A and B are shown apart, each in its own frame.
Chain A
Amino acid sequence: MSDVILVGLPYIAVALAILVGVYRFKTDTFSHSSFSSQLLENQKLFWGSALWHYAIVLILLAHFIAFLIPPLWGVIYGGATVAFEAFGLILSLVGFLALGWLMMRRFSSRRVFVVTSRMDWVVVSLLLLQMALGFLVALSYRWGGQWFVSSTAPWLWSLATLNPQADYVSAMPFLVQLHFLVGFLLIALYPFSRLVHLVFFPIHYLWRPYQRVIWNRAPRPGLGAARSVPEDIRLRRLSS
């Protein structure tokens, strides 16, 4: 059983996320959107959306650093363990409350309710559950930042290097394993939901030129042929 959840599910989830994610992007680029509902409801959104996004970005960042760059994690975490754990607890609580607030907003505002798909409800419910689990794990099993590096990180690395060893985490408490399960479920749902918006975070806005000019038919002489022409436009250009 534990192999199904700790080995099978992660591989299926990541495979789905990558394969379906790429397939969806190639075949249905149009569907990639964050589907903001701010136009429809502006008042309640602020506290929910801003707090939720900042909290989850920081939390995910901590997870990824601990998994990908353990030495860096050792330095920043080891220096202030208690403060870090406390901050993490607060963040997960803030994230949980903000997400709950957003969910309440979707229920209470008719305009937002009607633009909420079934998949939105599934995703937001799982995320809420995941935040609660994360909070409880951090509260009950101290100190997560330490045991993560010696158990979860090696397990994830064993998965990443195609040498799966569930033993690292198979004896962990139920809550922790549930946290893993829901986490990979969310990854599996990524290409089937609006979660896709997170890979389009427009970091390149920091350096892109303000103005964009695209020559459709005959690129301007002197400009590299299709340098500034995005994929969907390039298809329409002269084939010669």
Chain B
Amino acid sequence: MDIRAQVSMVFHLDKCIGCHTCSIACKNIWTDRQGTEYMWWNNVETKPGTGYPTQWEDQEKYKGGWERDSRGRLKLKLQGRAGALTNIFYNPSLPTLDDYYEPWTYDYKNLFDAPEGDDQPTARAVSLVTGDFMDTLEAGPNWDDDLGGSEVYAANDPNILKALTENEQQAVRTLEQTVFFYLPRICNHCLNPGCVAACPTGAIYKRGEDGIVLISQNRCRAWRMCVSGCPYKKTYFNWSTGKSEKCILCYPRLESGQPPACFHSCVGRIRYIGMVLYDADGIEQAARSNDHGLVDAQKALIMDPFDPEVIAGAKRNGVGDSVVAAAQVSPVYKFVKTWGLALPLHPEFRTLPMLFYVPPLLPVIAAIRDGQYETTAGMESAPADETGPNLNTVDQARLPLSYMASLFTAGNLEQMRKVFHKMVAVRMYMRQEQVGDQKEEEVEEALRRAEFTSEDCLRVFELTSLPTFEERFVVPPMERERAMDGELPPLDPYSRKAAGGFGFRDAPARRF
């Protein structure tokens, strides 16, 4: 056992309202510089949709992540080791700026400076790359927000094309059946990151202490293989400085005990962050599992933080007591392991992403039928009656289960259904508790099916709907501060003097 700590995350998609506050918080702090304008370390996609960059999930196009060779060994989908050196002059799988979008601003000055004339002055779009006027804007951030242009975007969602039958695709396209949800994405800080493995230089690394994946700006030489190697397209190439950049999980904030900016600012309070302890010895084995076993294999890596053996293993690796203590109250551990509600995004990429999603229990069960708004429409088998809405709709969801399974379980329908059954159980139980219009025996059946007790339902409800700031974000602050406050064993406050610094002394801009 090689126990290490990882800052891990859960996004509760049922709570995401798609406001993009997270994206803006991140942009204002980290990517408001020349060369990074097009980067969204945090972005929120409408699903179904093609996402950002366009069709990033299509690994036949972008070659991200890992695959198994005929002997079951892991290899990068992008290329072998020699391939990295022969493709270094031209990376055949690199997305270009047009796969993201060309960033722009507006010529606001013209609104003030335009000479008098018959027409209102306009502020034309100006490219932030070339400085030229852009007459037609063909793509931008969240161009397909809320299914805008869905005949092009939603229809070409790789999950729709890959996992849905022709009939199902047709149904999703029907106006009356329209459905979507939001998928916020940041770097997954994977256990088996493709970007680290793809970097020819070795400029990318995972921090041992907390598992955050970072790109050394000093060592990056712009070979740009990380951009292709990451199946989530969460490393970006800064065209101005000639360096790749990615989400740093706001580690300067984390180190002082604050959650990352996107978490802190989340309006829907969908985000949870906490420590988990994992067994690094099992990483390769887990990443080699067959598709339908990937999620379970990954979950098996996450260890019980109360197990004395695990705690001893953590100590051996220098994991601090405060970190173990944080792992014991981790909201992530509860969602992923205790309740089994949260799933990794696209586990079939085999990078073992450490950001988990509670899938959306779609849709809000209502539809227009014959001009009537029906809360139970779409459920032929369960007509509305005096017992209130039927919440038990897993297999009649407007977005077929296979779509969700394509996103979260590498196509394992049974696993997906199980998670939804648990969510349904919580809903039915709480509805019964608070409104009392469900059928008693149906609630009991739902609990049995979900293997949940009423106590479980209450706990899930509490952490889903009522959590405080401190319950959502459990980040151990730097040990030094807490040691000085007497919370932890004494630590010489000067022991880390001159060990840190202010980072760049020169501006990170191109000089040659």
Seen from chain A, the residues whose Cβ lies within 8 Å of a Cβ on chain B are: 28-42, 45-46, 49-50, 52-54, 110-111, 113-115, 117, 119, 192-194, 196-197, 200-206, 208, 210-218, 220-221, 230, 232-233, 235-240
Q: Which residues of B contact A38 (CB under 8 A)?
A: 90-91, 94, 96, 224
Q: Are A36 and B512 in contact (CB under 8 A)?
A: no
Which stretch from B19-27, B150-158, B235-243 is at the chain A interface? B235-243
Q: Which residues of A contact B82 (CB under 8 A)?
A: 206
Q: Are B84 and A205 in contact (CB under 8 A)?
A: yes
Task: From the candidates A50, A117, A214, A230, name the one contacting B512 in the complex (CB within 8 A).
Answer: A117
Q: Contacts A50-B90, A114-B130 given; indicate if A206 touches B504 (C-beta within 8 A).
A: no
Q: Contacts A34-B222, A39-B239, A220-B318 given; indicate if A204 touches B207 (C-beta within 8 A).
A: no
19 A-B residue pairs with Cβ-Cβ distance under 8 Å, sorted by A, are A28-B506, A29-B219, A32-B221, A33-B241, A34-B222, A36-B223, A38-B94, A39-B95, A39-B224, A114-B131, A192-B512, A197-B222, A200-B221, A202-B221, A205-B202, A212-B206, A230-B216, A232-B218, A239-B497
Q: Which residues of B contact A197 (CB under 8 A)?
A: 221-222
- Chain A proximity mask over B397-418: 1 for CB below 8 Å, otherwise 0: 0000000000000000000000
Q: Are A213 and B208 in contact (CB under 8 A)?
A: yes
**Besides A113-B130, A196-B512, A215-B208, 16 new A-B residue pairs in contact (Cβ under 8 A), listed by A number:** A30-B218, A30-B241, A36-B237, A38-B91, A110-B132, A114-B130, A115-B239, A201-B85, A212-B196, A214-B206, A216-B208, A217-B499, A218-B318, A220-B318, A233-B216, A239-B498
Q: Are A40 and B218 in contact (CB under 8 A)?
A: no
Q: Are A213 and B206 in contact (CB under 8 A)?
A: yes
Q: Are A238 and B495 in contact (CB under 8 A)?
A: yes
**How many whole Å from A109's CB to the nearest CB in chain B?**
9
Q: Which residues of B contact A230 (CB under 8 A)?
A: 216, 219
How many angstroms from the CA of A51 to the CA of B201 in the assembled complex? 23
Q: Contacts A31-B512, A235-B501, A236-B501 given; indicate if A211 touches B206 (C-beta within 8 A).
A: yes
Q: Are B90 and A217 in contact (CB under 8 A)?
A: no
Q: Contacts A30-B218, A208-B202 given; indicate if A49 touches B197 (C-beta within 8 A).
A: no
Chain B, interface size category, equals 35 or more
> What 10 pairs across the A-B complex have the smallest Cβ distances?
A33-B242, A202-B200, A215-B208, A210-B197, A35-B242, A53-B89, A212-B205, A205-B200, A29-B218, A42-B96
Most buried by B among A30, A114, A220: A30
Q: Contacts A39-B239, A214-B205 given; indicate if A202 touches B223 (C-beta within 8 A).
A: yes
**How many whole Å from B246's CB to the nearest CB in chain A?**
14
Q: Contacts A54-B89, A206-B81 given; indicate if A110 touches B130 (C-beta within 8 A).
A: yes
How many angstroms from the CA of A54 to the CA of B86 in the assembled complex? 9
Q: Are A40 and B242 in contact (CB under 8 A)?
A: no
Q: Are B216 and A232 in contact (CB under 8 A)?
A: yes
Q: Which residues of B contact A204 (CB under 8 A)?
A: 202
Residue of A nearest to B240 (CB): A115
**How many whole Å from A64's CB to the nearest CB in chain B?**
19
**How many whole Å from A52's CB to the nearest CB in chain B?**
8
Residue of A nearest to B236 (CB): A39
Q: Are B495 and A30 in contact (CB under 8 A)?
A: no
Q: Which residues of A contact B510 (CB under 8 A)?
A: 31, 35, 117
Q: Are A202 and B201 in contact (CB under 8 A)?
A: yes
Q: Are A31 and B511 in contact (CB under 8 A)?
A: yes
B371 beta carbon closer than 8 Å to chain A? no
Q: Are B206 and A34 in contact (CB under 8 A)?
A: no
Q: Which residues of A contact B499 (CB under 8 A)?
A: 217, 236-239
**How many whole Å from B158's CB to the nearest CB in chain A?**
21
Q: Are A193 and B205 in contact (CB under 8 A)?
A: no
Q: Which residues of A contact B220 (CB under 8 A)?
A: 33
Task: From the candidates B85, B204, B500, B512, name the one contacting A206 in the complex (CB within 8 A).
Answer: B85
Q: Which residues of B contact A111 (CB under 8 A)?
A: 97, 129-130, 239
Q: Are B239 and A40 in contact (CB under 8 A)?
A: yes
How many angstroms from the CA of A107 to the CA of B495 in the assembled complex? 55
Q: Are B132 and A217 in contact (CB under 8 A)?
A: no
**How many whole Å from A97's CB to the nearest CB in chain B?**
16
How many angstroms from the CA of A232 to the CA of B223 in the assembled complex? 20
B265 beta carbon closer than 8 Å to chain A? no
Q: Are B201 and A36 in contact (CB under 8 A)?
A: no
How many angstroms from the CA of A193 to the CA of B508 in the assembled complex? 17
Q: Which of B195-252 contact A (CB under 8 A)?
A: 196-197, 200-202, 204-209, 216-224, 227, 237, 239-243
Q: Which of B173-198 contact A (CB under 8 A)?
A: 192-193, 196-197
Q: Are A217 and B209 in contact (CB under 8 A)?
A: yes
**How many whole Å from B112's CB to the nearest CB in chain A?**
26
Residue of A nearest to B495 (CB): A240
**How many whole Å from A37's CB to the nearest CB in chain B?**
7
Q: Are B512 and A212 in contact (CB under 8 A)?
A: no
Q: Contacts A35-B510, A49-B90, A208-B202 given; indicate if A40 touches B85 (C-beta within 8 A).
A: no
Q: Contacts A35-B242, A111-B129 given; indicate if A40 touches B206 (C-beta within 8 A).
A: no
Q: Are A35 and B222 in contact (CB under 8 A)?
A: yes
How many angstroms from the CA of A117 to the CA of B497 in the assembled complex? 40
Residue of B nearest to A204 (CB): B202
Q: Are B495 and A203 in contact (CB under 8 A)?
A: no
How many angstroms from the CA of A102 to the CA of B130 in the assembled complex? 19
**How many whole Å from B13's CB to the nearest CB in chain A?**
30
